[in-house]
Structure 1
């Protein structure tokens, strides 16, 4: 799959051709040494919050393996990919015969990414291995992220992981590994990545031409992004900070003022090409409810904690139904905002 079909935020560098990786030196060293030993695991579950560099690390490691196909002669460390090297150019353009990137496909009718990685995408892995079985080369599959696999796709991947082809490597990315099939997790070596420190996040943003040079904006981005480059980009380039402020003000409002605020926010979140900021808002709302439930539980208010937990579940169900039946997004958002306000 070419990088153009991948979901890349405005201002970001597509992971296949990103020369920069910050904050994960220990993970890089582990992967390089494990590969050099010749005893590396055939499936690695790279897990951690969204936007901290999992995909960039996966492509960097894939580049490392394909550049040094003999583990015995591979270096014990990884370096930034050479953007002019044939291996890197092939990976970046989606033309590598030795690397398959499984991610959500584009819907031919809408031109937008589908909501899940389907079993048809996983079947591409079967064809990929069949076509390259006699080459003797490494064959690498990046599942990005495995959280997006629907049930049939997850079961299909599991079958391949149970009997992996020779000289195959699976890099399974996950933002929430607890939601994966336990049988998939059990067949992978877990590699946990932590959110970026403020220093590493600032370095990453500077590398994208968005330096955080002090002041209230920088403090807000560092605090709200929680070590995630993608969250920082959404805050800076997609109006995420304004969305959070509007939601906070809405919760404090009453009566007609609250209703007007709900409609203004719903208009923004349901506008054309608002998928990114809508997803950002849902994540923020989910974190808000979890924080409220946790605070209530710590305070001994089990009833309130239960109500917040139930509300989070109800909202997830509303979103699932809305997406499944292509319901009007604004009405769905208004329903969610009303429930959150209550």
Structure 2
């Protein structure tokens, strides 16, 4: 049976799955992350496999794909790092049907037709039954927590108990993009495996493989720009090239180019398009693109490198100087923190966008090129 057919049979879907693309559990190949794969393999070969691993790294670089690859390897009891798609273990994991695999994640709330904001204690309590009965198939049990930084306090405490006294041949794989949100007690009981953004070659190979696997089309020029903007995240590259992400980026660049002036009517129209009830992901993408652009301008201002193309190099020359570099870094930190707080606490996100642009406007006016506001 094909992976696509297995996906159709699966009763549950990851809450953060990228629309139109396979879930990490359905992806048959890991690109990059050679050091992480080698470290895990060495532990397995040594016979001293740590019972809990914390996979930490930026959003969308393949942590979950890596975790499922590790899970398949343990469940198949195979010396091979890649389990083929026609292997029974691959099909069962892809369909979330393997009796020795438990996935802990945010739960679906039928009443609201949405996923919960946090992983609750009831979800983690499923461990009791999973770890308490005899294994459905001989060999290892694997528990994947995706994402561990979304555990609420009670859920984290419940997971900690399982980590403190794990049954034999049980492997926990915790996935996190925000290691600091995890309790120290959980981190201290895991072996941290850090993964970073993909290099240019691996990123392009991963993106092209995903587009081909899931029958998605991408304009060559748009894909090139998406890869340059993705900062090593294949998820971000795919999100950009198959949505209106490139258009959002171009709108952001146009607004930056006009600084310190702001077109109020145009800006408010853009904010309206980002503030609808169903526009959360689009708004998150917009803000991430803005923050990513600021970061590249800062890097270019400090080192002369890091800009994604001639347009960004010109923006850096227009807006950033050695005199205001520290204030740009401060603005980047402030906007990033306000974004995280607004999404965590469900604050007014339209004000978040406006405040960010007004902050950048004030900063641009300090550039020696302008002297005084235009």
State how far apart, in whole Å, the 2-side matches of 1:114 and 1:298 are.
45
The change in CA–CA distance for 1:27 and 1:293 in structure 2 (over 3 A counts) is closer
**Distance of aligned partners of 1:51 and 1:2 in 2 relative to their CA distance in 1, 3 Å threshold:** farther
1:56 lines up with 2:58 in the alignment = no
The question of 1:334 aligning with 2:343 is answered no
Residue 37 of structure 1 pairs with residue 50 of structure 2: no
What is the TM-score of this pair, normalised by structure 2? 0.76
Aligned match for 2:243, one of 224, 228, 238: 238
Larger RCO of the pair (alpha carbons < 8 Å, separation 6+): 1
Aligned equivalents of 1:139, 1:178: Cα separation in 2: 27
Shift of 1:37: 2.3
CA contact (8 A) 1:289 1:312 kept: no
Corresponding residue for 1:270? 275
Q: Work out the CA distance in 1 between the residues paired with 2:62 and 2:340.
A: 26
Check 1:310–1:256 CA distance in 2 against 1; reply closer, same or farther (3 A cut). Answer: closer
What is the TM-score when the length of structure 1 is the normalising length? 0.83
Counterpart of 2:33 in structure 1 is: 24
1:142 maps to 144
Which residues of 2 match residues 117-266 of structure 1 at below 5 A? 117-132=119-134, 137-209=139-211, 216-251=221-256, 253=258, 258-266=263-271
Structure-2 change in CA distance of 1:338 and 1:139 (3 Å)? same
Residues 264-322 of structure 1 deviation map (CA, whole Å, 9 limit, x = unaligned): 32333234643332222233344456678887897477666556544543443333332
CA contact (8 A) 1:205 1:212 kept: no
Say whether residues 1:321 and 2:323 are aligned partners: no
Instruction: Check whether the contact 1:144–1:172 (CA below 8 A) recurs between aligned residues.
Output: yes
Distance apart, 1:20 and its partner CA: 1.8
Mapped contact 1:293–1:306 kept (Cα < 8 A): no
Change (3 A) 1:255 1:149: same
- Distance verdict in 2 for CA 1:297–1:137, change over 3 Å: farther
* Separation in 2, partners of 1:155, 1:112: 25
| 1:275-314 aligned within 5 A | 275-287=280-292, 299=323, 306=330, 309-314=333-338
Conserved? CA contact 1:21–1:57, under 8 Å: yes
Deviations 1:50-70 (Å, cap 9, x if unpaired)? Answer: 1111111111111111111xx
Report deviation, 1:27.
2.3
- Structure 1, residues 75-117: CA drift from partner, whole Å, max 9, x if none? 2x412x2323222222111121100111222221232222221
The CA distance in 2 between the partners of 1:98 and 1:206, in whole Å, is 32
For residues 38 and 114 of structure 2, the distance between their equivalents in structure 1, rounded to whole angstroms, comes to: 37
> What is the RMSD computed on CA atoms of the aligned residues?
3.2
Corresponding position of 1:46 = 55
What are the Cα deviations for residues 200-242 of structure 1, in whole angstroms up to 9, with x where unaligned?
Answer: 1111122123699996424311210111110011111121122
Partner of 1:65: 74
Deviation at 1:11, TM superposition (A): 3.8
Determine if contact 2:203/2:232 at 8 Å carries over to the other structure: yes
User: Gaps (5+ residues) in structure 1?
Assistant: 69-73, 324-331
Unaligned runs of 5+ in 2: 1-9, 303-319, 359-374
8 Å contact 2:56–2:194 — kept in the other structure? yes
Larger radius of gyration: 2
| Inter-CA distance 276–314: structure 2 relative to 1 (3 Å threshold) | closer
Per-residue CA deviation, residues 128-151 of structure 1 (Å, 9 max, x unaligned), is: 112346976421111112122222
- Check 1:271–1:318 CA distance in 2 against 1; reply closer, same or farther (3 A cut): closer
The structure-2 alpha-carbon separation of the partners of 1:304 and 1:182, relative to structure 1 and needing over 3 Å to count, comes to same
